[in-house]
């Protein structure tokens, strides 16, 4: 088995993605559909929240992904800053639009869920506010990539932005623990069985989380490959112009 750094070679990455992508895509589709169908059609209502509990199958996986996509971007950004592997910088760039959509789903489903349960679409609650800031960091990160022509400079600056934004990714996860106030409840899934939601809700929730993770992996493979193709096209066009 070769080193993980072999995948920093764009050709090796593309070859691997050609093999892995179809399987991960199929697995992601099947898992996501199974989890959502199970959660929507075959789980009971909660005795307090009624049928709104079914929103958990979208809200929790999307929120988990919103935070963890940023951490994946942090790791690949650090790899770029330390080892200067272009594929890692492109993987971070490729992941950001997926992360912002996950954050948006978490915010929108949270607002829709919050309205009947809390009586308001929005509150400046620690977790909600840190999630909104995380969303703005995603926006800024994507805008920074688009604003800078030189790809290496863009990769450097976005990597620094990613490190700074990680503070808010941590806050989004642990805001409820830092400030024991606000409307948002604590973690729905915990290693402490007493804090966890009932198995009838948590089992399909785990399936949905697996579906979201697999979807993310498939999209990052696809989008990173796209970025590599774009980079190669740009390089060939520049070479043509030089004669």
Partner 1 sequence: MMPDLGKYGDTVLSAYAVSIVLLVIMVALSIRASRKARAELQKIEGRRNG
Distance CA 89, CA 68 (A): 17
Q: Which is nearer to partner 1, 59 or 127 (CB)?
A: 59
Q: What is the smallest separation between the CB atom of 91 and partner 1, expressed in angstroms? A: 14
Q: Which is nearer to partner 1, 81 or 123 (CB)?
A: 123
Q: What is the smallest separation between the CB atom of 194 and partner 1, expressed in angstroms? A: 27
Give the pair of three-digit tokens for residue 9. Answer: 């070679």
Q: Are 66 and 131 in contact (CB under 8 A)?
A: yes
Q: What is the smallest separation between the CB atom of 93 and partner 1, expressed in angstroms? A: 12
Q: What is the smallest separation between the CB atom of 132 and partner 1, expressed in angstroms? A: 17
Cβ within 8 Å of residue 27, ≥6 positions away:
214
Q: What is the smallest separation between the CB atom of 196 and partner 1, expressed in angstroms? A: 22
Helix axes 126-147, 151-178, angle to 10 degrees: 180
For Cα atoms 137, 141, 142, give the angle at the middle one, nearest 5 degrees: 120
Q: Which is nearer to partner 1, 171 or 214 (CB)?
A: 214
- Long-range contacts, stretch 121-124, CB < 8 angstroms, 24+ apart: 123/182, 123/183
Q: Which is nearer to partner 1, 81 or 104 (CB)?
A: 104
Classify residue 34 by burial, with Cβ atoms within 10 Å: 0-12, 13-18, 19+.
middle
Q: How is the chain split among helix, strand and coil, in percent rounded to 5?
A: 80, 0, 20
Q: What is the smallest separation between the CB atom of 55 and partner 1, expressed in angstroms? A: 5
Q: Which is nearer to partner 1, 135 or 171 (CB)?
A: 135
Instruction: Give the single-character DSSP code of 198.
Output: P
3-state SS class at 49: coil
Distance CA 102, CA 66 (A): 5
Residues binding partner 1 (CB under 8 A): 36, 40-41, 45, 50-52, 54-55, 58-59, 62, 97-98, 101, 104-105, 108-109, 112-113, 115-116, 215, 219, 222-223, 225-227, 229-230, 232-233, 236-237, 240
- From residue 116, alpha-carbon distances to 110, 127, 182, 201 in Å are 11, 19, 16, 20
Q: What is the smallest separation between the CB atom of 163 and partner 1, expressed in angstroms? A: 25
Q: Which is nearer to partner 1, 15 or 229 (CB)?
A: 229
Q: Which is nearer to partner 1, 115 or 177 (CB)?
A: 115
């Amino acid at each position: 088995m070769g080193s993980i750094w072999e995948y920093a070679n764009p050709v090796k990455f593309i070859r691997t993605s050609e093999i892995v992508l179809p399987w991960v895509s199929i697995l992601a589709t099947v898992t996501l559909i199974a989890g959502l169908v199970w959660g929507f059609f075959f789980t009971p209502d909660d005795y307090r929240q009624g049928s709104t509990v079914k929103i958990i199958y979208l809200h929790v996986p999307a929120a988990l992904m919103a935070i963890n996509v940023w951490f994946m971007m942090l790791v690949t950004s650090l790899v770029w800053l330390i080892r200067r592997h272009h594929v890692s910088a492109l993987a971070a760039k490729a992941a950001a639009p997926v992360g912002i959509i996950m954050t948006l789903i978490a915010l929108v489903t949270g607002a829709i869920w919050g309205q009947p349960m809390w009586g308001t679409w929005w509150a400046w609650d620690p977790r909600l506010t840190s999630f909104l800031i995380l969303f703005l960091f995603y926006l800024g990160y994507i805008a920074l990539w688009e604003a800078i022509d030189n790809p290496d400079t863009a990769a450097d600056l976005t990597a620094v932005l990613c490190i700074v934004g990680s503070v808010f990714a941590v806050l989004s996860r642990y805001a409820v623990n830092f400030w024991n106030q606000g409307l948002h409840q604590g973690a729905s899934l915990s290693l402490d069985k007493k804090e966890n939601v009932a198995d009838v809700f948590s089992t399909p929730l785990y399936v949905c989380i697996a579906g979201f993770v697999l979807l993310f992996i498939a999209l990052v493979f696809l989008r990173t490959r796209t970025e590599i193709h774009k980079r190669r096209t740009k390089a060939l066009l520049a070479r043509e112009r030089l004669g």
